[in-house]
Amino acid sequence: MLSIKRVATVVSNFQKEEEAGVAAPPSGGCGRNCLKSCCIQEAKLPLYAFKKVEKVGGKDLPLCKEQPVTFLDSLILGEWEDRMQRGLFRYDVTTCETKVIPGEYGFIAQLNEGRHLKKRPTEFQVDKVLQPFDESKFNFTKVGQEEILFQFEASSDGEVQFFPNVPIDVENSPSVVAINVSPIEYGHVLLIPRIFECLPQRIDHASFLLALHMAVEAGNPYFRLGYNSLGAFATINHLHFQAYYLAVPFPIEKAPTKKIAKLNLGVKISKLLNYPIRGLVFEGSHSLEDLANTVSDACICLQRNNIPYNVLISDCGRQVFLIPQCYAEKQALGEVSAELLDTQVNPAVWEISGHMVLKRRKDYDEASEANAWRLLAEVSLSEERFQEVCSLIFQAMTSSELEVKCQYLEEAGSSPSPTMVAGSQECLVLQ
């Protein structure tokens, strides 16, 4: 069983108490104003009801560009700022030094010493992407209600609605948006789907569609959502996505791509080129649900095959990056250099996307494109292994209930080969 020592990232103000075994008060609930039955009675939270969007490429999806702040933007940032004023964060992320590293890709370096100081090292198992939910360990039902910003659900009448004070319907398990008390950037939040179902950290179709809806609803190109699987530096085994604002392009968003397949649902699949990490890019579709199902099928395939991965939702939900990775496995096997280990950088979705969160002044001062490239190259699967993983993904897609047809292209812009039906072994050949 592979396991490594790693520094835990605290995402809630009660996480350290939970890990340290701090006893709850004998009466009056647990004393934390949490989301469990001891404290949840008659609790209320704001509710943001989003409009369901159908089309990804059509008129239903607004243009993703700088525009006046949307209501969801103002809600997230206003509530987040309120929690900052109330002192709920473990440090002031607005004081962290940040710079764009000179070079072709413009990697972003941030010095965030507060994110790892005084954290208790914990054993972290890295060889199982799917692990059962463990009620005894920290999970998001144990956060304080003051850390929850609002409930996030689909509107019942097809229009955006906001209710400032709505009872928490525990039986129907609402999805919620909460602060990350150890933020990487301004407005860093967590999207926790169906929180009371206590789902382990594993993507399913419904949860990924919810994350896409949040990206669409924000309508802000600088607001991205990310996901880390277990084994790819998720630190809590309770289903959640992360999101924050960063007002520059991520390097991964600027990397060239090569189209390798197009599904009959309209989803185009490309592979990254000239980037230190090998990965797939999904975009375009007849509907948001089709895009969500396609990416979810790929993620579910990786989960079932025990392959750690990270996901970045970009361009207001139009573009999704899927990155299988092996850094934690290399760590456990002793295959990562001491120089990289000394940085204590855990390359999760944000680092993979090009936002390098550095924990030592030395690394920040010496940050360079070459150093960023060197770290991320260790995260990537080899070309041979990446091709094997892609074959698994496409095989899963072509055998799904959607009866997906696909076309493989010799190169971008070439005439496609004849359409191949679901299950065809030809469909597994990647160019």
Spatial distance between the Cα atoms of 209 and 74, rounded to a whole number of angstroms: 22
Q: Are 155 and 220 in contact (CB under 8 A)?
A: no
366, amino acid identity: E
Q: Are 341 and 91 in contact (CB under 8 A)?
A: no
Spatial distance between the Cα atoms of 313 and 322, rounded to a whole number of angstroms: 9
| 177 CB-near residues (< 8 Å, 6+ apart) | 48, 76, 148, 149, 150, 151, 152, 189, 190, 191, 192, 214
**Residue 420 DSSP label:** B
223, amino acid identity: F
Question: In the annotation, is 286 catalytic?
Answer: no
Catalytic member of 238, 240, 286, 355: 240
For residue 165, give the H/E element and its range.
Answer: strand 161-167
Spatial distance between the Cα atoms of 143 and 15, rounded to a whole number of angstroms: 8
Give ∠ CA 348-349-351 in degrees, rounded to 5. Answer: 70
Give ∠ CA 349-353-359 in degrees, rounded to 5. Answer: 70
Spatial distance between the Cα atoms of 259 and 398, rounded to a whole number of angstroms: 18
In Å, what is the CA distance from 195 to each residue of 24, 190, 198, 239, 410?
22, 11, 6, 8, 44
Determine whether 295 is exposed, middle or buried from the number of CB atoms within 10 Å of its CB (0-12, 13-18, 19+): buried
Spatial distance between the Cα atoms of 229 and 312, rounded to a whole number of angstroms: 12
**Residue 325 DSSP label:** B
Determine whether 253 is exposed, middle or buried from the number of CB atoms within 10 Å of its CB (0-12, 13-18, 19+): middle
Q: According to DSSP H, which parts of 190-275 are helical?
A: 205-218, 251-254
For residue 227, give the H/E element and its range.
Answer: strand 223-228
Q: Are 93 and 186 in contact (CB under 8 A)?
A: yes
Residues with active-site annotation: 240
